[in-house]
Amino acid sequence: MRANRTLEKLRRDAVAVGPFMTIGSPDLAELTAHAGFDFVFLDWQHGEWTEATLNSALARFLASQSDPLVRVKGHEPGTINRVLDMGAAGVIVPMVETAAQAEVAAAAVRYPPRGQRSGGGNRLALLDEQGAWGYFERANDALALIVMVESEAAASRAGEIAAVPGVDVVLVGPGDLLLDLRSRGGAEADVERLVARLPEAVRAAGKAAGYVCGTPEAARQRIDQGYRLITYQSDVGILQAAWRAARAQAEAW
């Protein structure tokens, strides 16, 4: 079966890095897939993807070594199953608050006896040299389940959530975490208090911790704290920065 570079790195405690994409363009996703990152985070929760454009984008990764990871819109098992059937190398499940919710996601990602995923999907035969049945036999160990903790309550339960069989990564969503804390009088310092100790709790369960980072300095800080899945940069950010730099050059002329 096609190797999952991201999982291979995380399982040996190495750092895996990739950008996230919100612009619903399969062509742009294809260009990004060939940039050499470990993974590309295709954001269906907040991005502009439709099922059709997402399906097309995932097909473009067949000729790339980068892992396509899709953030689904919620916890619904059918959507998780469908994204995997399109050829995603893993799913990112947002707003996981409890171990019970993580168990639902894990059951949707894994085939029996480890879960309840249904067998099907036209593209799966292209992901294993032995066809669809080869995929069915090997997918449970080759797909990544990344669950996001985005509230104070969820971050406090990170160890319990990480301990759920089938969960590979607990990913901090710092934006929503700050929103949650601010709604109850908290601030950035409270975010730091929670996230500084989270990798240790996740590592104790034998899993990896991840963080969404906006700058190289933030990425280095989180890696030093023990985070191993680093989402860094975005399609919107890269394009805006490049166009501003081009405009500055043009104005100088």
Mean pLDDT to the nearest integer, 14-25: 98
Is residue 194 within 8 A of residue 154, CB to CB? The reply is no
- Given the DSSP bridges, would you call strands 16-21 and 169-172 parallel, antiparallel or unpaired? unpaired
From CA 170, how far away is CA 178, in angstroms rounded? 17
75 is known as an active-site residue: no
Could you say which of 34, 46, 182, 247 is catalytic?
Answer: 46
The pLDDT tens digits for 98-141 are: 999 999 999 999 999 999 999 999 999 999 999 999 999 999 99
Burial class (CB in 10 A: 0-12, 13-18, 19+), 111: middle
From CA 4, how far away is CA 17, in angstroms rounded? 13
Mean pLDDT to the nearest integer, 3-11: 97
Tokens standing for residue 122: 């036209």
Q: Helix, strand, or coil here: 14? A: coil
- Given the DSSP bridges, would you call strands 144-149 and 169-172 parallel, antiparallel or unpaired? parallel
End-to-end CA distance of the chain: 52
The pLDDT tens digits for 215-252 are: 999 999 999 999 999 999 999 999 999 999 999 999 99
From CA 170, how far away is CA 228, in angstroms rounded? 10
From CA 243, how far away is CA 69, in angstroms rounded? 27
Tokens standing for residue 108: 């949707």
Sequence ranges of the domains in the chain = 5-252
From CA 20, how far away is CA 232, in angstroms rounded? 7
Which architecture, in CATH terms, is 5-252? Alpha-Beta Barrel (3.20)
The pLDDT tens digits for 153-200 are: 999 999 999 999 999 999 999 999 999 999 999 999 999 999 999 999
